[in-house]
């Protein structure tokens, strides 16, 4: 459950419902795609950042091939949907024995189907290094309706939407809202 001082405002119930909807989307995506380490949604910056954890930094050639294939996939999706071109960035942050593969997308044009595309490309290129939090496999009672997730993703484009970060930790999914400073 999300707790914050926004419940003290006059329109606290409405804000609570909006926060819960936005946070529920991140939870659903993280449960549905255990390969994703973290998700960050920032409507103010109009970005969605999907982070995958790798147990070693990939070779430059593998990263470039991943970027190329992802670009081809986005070009095909753009052609199929007739939407605006999918502009994205994929980069690596390396630490001692750990690498973070960040895929950053414009929140304005992201589609739910892209999560499947991105995750399958990550698996195809980095499966041997991908850290997957399988401790929390989707329980049988947890059903995610793809259409519902797609519609909720639309709500994140609202200028009133809040910045959230969600991540997996030992089978649990945690979501926090970032305060506006």
Q: How far apart are CA 63 and CA 90, in angstroms?
A: 9
Q: Which domain holds residue 138?
A: 5-177
Per-residue confidence (pLDDT) for residue 50, from 0 to 100: 95
Residue burial 62-96, b: 16+ Cβ < 10 Å; e: rest: ebeebbeebeebbeebeeeeeeeebebebeeeeee
Residue 130, CA distances (Å) to 94, 95, 181 in order: 14, 15, 34
Q: How many domains does the chain have?
A: 1
Q: Indicate the pTM of the whole model.
A: 0.81
Per-residue confidence (pLDDT) for residue 28, from 0 to 100: 81
Q: How far apart are CA 84 and CA 95, in angstroms?
A: 35
Q: Which two tokens stand for residue 119?
A: 């995750």
Residue whose entry in the numeric block shows the structure tokens 């949604």: 41
Strand-pairing partners, residue 90, are 103
Per-residue confidence (pLDDT) for residue 170, from 0 to 100: 81
Per-residue confidence (pLDDT) for residue 1, from 0 to 100: 34
Instruction: Give the residues of the chain that fall short of pLDDT 50.
Output: 1-12, 141, 181
pLDDT digits (tens, 9 = 90+) for 150-168: 556 666 666 667 788 898 8
Residue 65, CA distances (Å) to 76, 90, 124, 125 in order: 17, 11, 11, 8
Would you give the DSSP letter of residue 128?
T
Per-residue confidence (pLDDT) for residue 2, from 0 to 100: 36
């Amino acid at each position: 459950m999300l707790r914050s001082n926004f419940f003290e405002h006059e329109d606290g119930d409405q804000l609570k419902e909006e926060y819960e909807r936005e946070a529920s989307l991140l939870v659903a995506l993280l449960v549905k795609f255990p390969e994703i380490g973290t998700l960050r949604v920032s409507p103010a910056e109009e970005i969605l950042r999907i982070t995958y954890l790798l147990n070693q930094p990939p070779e430059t050639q593998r990263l470039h091939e991943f970027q190329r294939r992802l670009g081809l996939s986005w070009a095909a999706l753009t052609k199929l949907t007739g939407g605006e071109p999918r502009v994205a960035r994929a980069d690596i942050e390396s630490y001692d024995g750990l690498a973070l593969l960040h895929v950053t997308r414009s929140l304005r044009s992201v589609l739910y189907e892209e999560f499947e595309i991105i995750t399958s490309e990550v698996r195809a290129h980095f499966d041997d290094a991908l850290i997957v939090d399988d401790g929390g496999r989707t329980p049988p009672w947890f059903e995610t309706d793809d259409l519902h997730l797609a519609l909720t993703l639309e709500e994140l484009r609202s200028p009133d939407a809040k910045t959230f970060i969600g991540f997996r930790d030992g089978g649990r999914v945690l979501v926090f809202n970032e305060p506006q400073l």
